[in-house]
Amino acid sequence: MDKFGRPMEDLRISVIDRCNFRCTYCMPREIFGKDFVFLPREALLSFEEIERLAQIFVALGIRKIRLTGGEPLLRKDLPVLIEKLAKINGLEDIGLTTNGTLLAVKADALKEAGLKRINVSLDALDEQLFKQINDSGVGPERILKGIEKARETGLQVKVNMVVKKGMNEQEILPMATYFKDLGITLRFIEFMDVGQTNGWDYSKVITKKEIYHKLSEHFELEPVPSAYLGEVAKRYRYKGTNTEVGFITSVSESFCSSCTRIRIAADGKLYTCLFAEKGYDLRELLRSEKTNEDIKNAIVRIWNQRSDRYSDERTMETAKHKKKIEMSYIGG
C-alpha cells in the first residue's frame, strides 16, 4: 500500500520513446523534429531486463501489464518480448496501446505470442483532419484496416480518442456511430496536461460532461458499474446493445484516490504518476550486482512512499510550470 492506502496493481511498460506519428498535442514536430535526441539503443531496457522486472512485479502482486511507448510496434521483435511475458506464472493479462499503423502486418504475430488485448488510438475518421493531427501523412483507413485485422486474429480491441477543443470535437458523433455499429468500445479521453510541450490549457479541454451531453442527444446510454478498483474509464452501454462507450476523465473527475498504476519508462525509470517529475532508476539496479530480492525491496520502498495525487491537485500554475515528463517517454 502507498501513503493513501492504494495497492499497486497495474504495470505499464514503455518499450520505446520513438513514434512514427507527430500528433500535434503529444509530440509536436517543432520539438520532436529531426534534431530531437531519442534514447540510444543501449539505454533502452532489453527484453531480458523487462522480463526480469515483470517477474519481480508479478511476485509483488501485479496481474496486468500493458506495453506502450512511443509507438510500441516500432520496437523490433516485440512479439519475442510478449512471448516471454506470457510465460510468467501469475500474470493474467497482457495488453498493448498502439497507434495502429503497423497493426495489419503485426497482429498475427502479436496474438500468437500471447497478447490478449489492444487499445488503438484514433482521433478522427475524417481523412484530412486525421492527417493534420498526426502530422505524418497517414489516413484513418490504414488504422481501420489494422483494427479489422486485429479483430480477425481474435485480439480484443478498444479504441481511444483524445478530444481537444478546436481540434476534433466534430468527430465525436461520427466516431461514436462508427464504432457502435462495429460493436467496438470507444473511449473518449480528456486532453491532459502531460509533459511540457503540448500547449495545454484548460480552455482546450472538452469534458466528459460535454461529450456525454452530445452523445445523449443521439443515443440512449445506461451506466455500467466499474468492474474493479482502479478502473479508470467511466463506462456506459448503448441501451439495447452490448456495446460500451467510456470516458477517461483525468481532468474533470480525477481518479487519483483509486489509482493503482505504476509505470516503467523505456530507459528503466520507475514512475508512480503519469504527471511525475522524478523517476527511480531501475536500470541501474538491473545492471548492478543487485538480486531480485534487492530490487523488489527497492520497489516496495518506493511504492510505500508514494503520495502522488497530481490530478486532484491540478491548478493552472502546476499545469503550466511543473516540470513534468513527456507522454512519449513515460508511455501513455
Q: Where do contacts with ligand SAM occur on this chain (CB under 6 A)?
A: 19, 25-26, 68-69, 71, 97-99, 121, 160, 162, 189, 191-192, 194, 198, 327-328, 332
Q: Which of 108, 191, 192 is nearest to 151 (CA)?
A: 108
Q: In what order do the strands lie in the sheet with 64-68?
A: 221-224, 234-238, 244-248, 185-190, 156-163, 117-121, 93-98, 64-68, 10-14, 261-264, 269-271, 280-281
- Nearest residue (beta carbon) to ligand SAM: 332
Q: Please identify which residue in the block is written with the cell numbers 522524478.
A: 278
Based on CB atoms, which residue is closest to ligand SAM, 290 or 322? 322
Based on CB atoms, which residue is closest to ligand SAM, 26 or 282? 26
Based on CB atoms, which residue is closest to ligand SAM, 57 or 329? 329
CA pair distance 291, 282, nearest whole angstrom: 12
CB of 69 to ligand SAM, least distance (A): 5
Based on CB atoms, which residue is closest to ligand SAM, 7 or 28? 28
Amino acid found at 65:
I
CB of 198 to ligand SAM, least distance (A): 5
Based on CB atoms, which residue is closest to ligand SAM, 55 or 198? 198
Q: Please identify which residue in the block is written with the cell numbers 539505454.
A: 43
Cβ–Cβ contacts within 10 Å for residue 262, how many?
A: 23
CB of 65 to ligand SAM, least distance (A): 15
CB of 61 to ligand SAM, least distance (A): 25
- CB-CB contact of 254 with 17 (8 Å): no
CB of 229 to ligand SAM, least distance (A): 23
- CB-CB contact of 108 with 147 (8 Å): no
CB of 133 to ligand SAM, least distance (A): 9
Strand partners, 262: 11
Based on CB atoms, which residue is closest to ligand SAM, 266 or 327? 327
Q: What is the 3-state secondary structure (H, E, C) of 110-137?
A: HHHHCCCEEEEECCCCCHHHHHHHHCCC
